[in-house]
Amino acid sequence: MGTERHLQERLGFFVKHGYLDRVPTPWQLKVGTLAMLPVTLSESERERVRSRATLMGQVPIRVPLQILYNPRQALPDSGLTQRRESIVRHVLSVYHEDAFLGFDLQLLQSHPGGLALLREEAAKVVEGRTRWAPFLRRLVGWPGYHARLIELAEAAERFEYPDPLDTDPRFASLVSFARFCNTMPDWPARGFYGFELQRIVDRWK
């Protein structure tokens, strides 16, 4: 029930605004999330070049630090059940090239005040108004990343998202992921596994 409520809240936002025809079922979401897992746990070659340019950017060092900063991201999933604060911490601490940010930007857009929170927290990093600022800058390893987040968050509020370039179109944004999930087979309805005594009665009439 909880997952279904989150689906209606997050994806219902895009149904309301005409970007999505319908909300996938929790089962379709599970199947779609499994299909997306290799993308979730990897990075593009462009991201690899940029995010691993420093010592702190090496995976054996950066991943434990990223989890320490935001424990929720230790569990790879679609993000649909996460609080906006956890999503913001994920985006601040994990380098994403623009092409992959459409997904997280739309997740935050579906939360009331989500994009505003991202702008505010990214600005704190840029301006050094948080004790985490030096740590987060070194962790993502790419100059100007947090300033760019502010620009992208402002554009997302106008429903303008980054160019997905050559990323898998099924997973380039939350909306495209939901559309993909809607093509997945759904689990049979609960009544499928019960008795249909009326059919037996009708047969012997």
pLDDT for 54 equals 85
Provide the 10 A C-beta neighbour count for residue 179.
19
Domain boundaries, the chain: 2-203
pLDDT for 15 equals 98
pLDDT for 2 equals 61
pLDDT for 1 equals 43
Provide the 10 A C-beta neighbour count for residue 71.
11
pLDDT for 194 equals 66
3-state SS assignment for residue 188: coil
pLDDT digit string, tens, across residues 1-45: 468 899 999 999 999 999 999 999 999 999 999 999 999 988 888
Ranges of residues in the chain whose predicted pLDDT is under 50 = 1
Are the C-beta atoms of 7 and 24 separated by less than 8 Å? yes
pTM to 2 decimals? Answer: 0.90
Distance, CA of 105 to CA of 98 (rounded, Å): 10
pLDDT for 193 equals 65
